[in-house]
Structure 1
């Protein structure tokens, strides 16, 4: 059976979505938290295989200037099949018309996204809720004056 694609949250099982992120592995994201962030995203991409949620992604967008792709996750059983690439491609197509499309990636996945046309930014900066953990996990670089 082919992958069934959806953008709708109407029948999404939020517990199943939470389990997908944990298995991907992209961390422990509660169903309530996921409902908030997916509901507030302009674009969503949900992939189902025989009724089972196997891949997702979302993009925050303002409708003109900036779209931001994040939270792309694929179950381990479907990784390496092209599903992640298709999710990104669908979100990029949905985001067309924005002046820029940004993407937030797990460290180590940059070459995957580079093959899809994304380029490293020299001016991107972030403030994380837990700066120390973000530094340890490689999301941000150590700056002069940061505690060791």
Structure 2
């Protein structure tokens, strides 16, 4: 079986009106996207494979159904450790005030720590990186979902002081691997348009077969 990575780009107003995001979707079966689950796997012969180019969108990228070999990590666990970074997969040692500071530093609104705690309690998978010298989080991402078909990745952030050294990619590679190992076939996330290029090298493409995501908008409802 092959897995198709899809991006659906759609400007979405968030809590702050000046910020717009795009909805990115990773899925293994086009028949499941916004159409419901099917009862049998997609015939491999029906999967379309196109070479990826930066200028040809929309497009589909076919990759192995199994996560790539760990040798394909952009930064190995050992290299991260040698640079003073510790990978964490549980919120046990995560200081929520320090995490909030990272959120604010990248432009997120400050969040109620109690609500962050509830969000983490309802998170299916998370991965964060602690800087050993300060014992503070410097990169973070988490995912929620039904544990079988669907997952949404949230809060992919890197402390501005540590951006540009591959920590964001390191977090995404490992979180994505964990979701795929669980057999989850549809994975989505929101992204500002200016960083869509960060996700494309991971296999995402735009608007498969013209399918676009939709998000509930209170503003749109008020117009009726």
**Rg larger in structure:** 2
Q: Does 1:59 align with 2:143?
A: yes
> Alignment partner for residue 111 of structure 2, among 29, 40, 52?
29
> Alignment partner for residue 159 of structure 2, among 63, 75, 85?
75
Q: Does 1:120 align with 2:206?
A: yes
Per chain length, whose mean CA-contact separation is higher, i.e. which structure has more relative contact order (CA < 8 Å, sep 6+)? 2
Q: Does 1:105 align with 2:191?
A: yes
Report SS of the residue matched to 1:123: coil
Q: Is the 8 A contact 2:95 2:136 kept in 1?
A: no
Query: Gaps spanning 5+ residues in structure 2: where?
Result: 1-82
- Please give the residue correspondences for 1:87-98 in structure 2 after superposition, counting only pairs within 5 Å: 87-96=171-180, 97-98=183-184
1:44 is matched with: 126
Q: Tell me the alpha carbon deviations over residues 41-85 of structure 1, each in whole angstroms, 9 at most, x when there is no partner.
A: 100011011122101000112121111111111000111111011
Per-residue deviation at 1:119? 2.4
Give the RMSD, CA atoms, in angstroms.
2.0
Distance 1:146 1:108, change over 3 A: farther
Distance 1:107 1:28, change over 3 A: farther
> Alignment partner for residue 15 of structure 1, among 93, 97, 103?
97
Query: Gaps spanning 5+ residues in structure 1: where?
Result: 133-144
CA distance in 2, matches of 1:114, 1:30: 32
CA distance in 1, matches of 2:108, 2:197: 18
Aligned pair count reads 134
CA distance in 2, matches of 1:28, 1:19: 8
Report SS of the residue matched to 2:194: coil
Per-residue deviation at 1:12? 1.5
Instruction: Give the structure-1-normalised TM-score.
Output: 0.81
CA distance in 1, matches of 2:219, 2:130: 35
Instruction: Give the structure-2-normalised TM-score.
Output: 0.55
Per-residue deviation at 1:26? 2.5
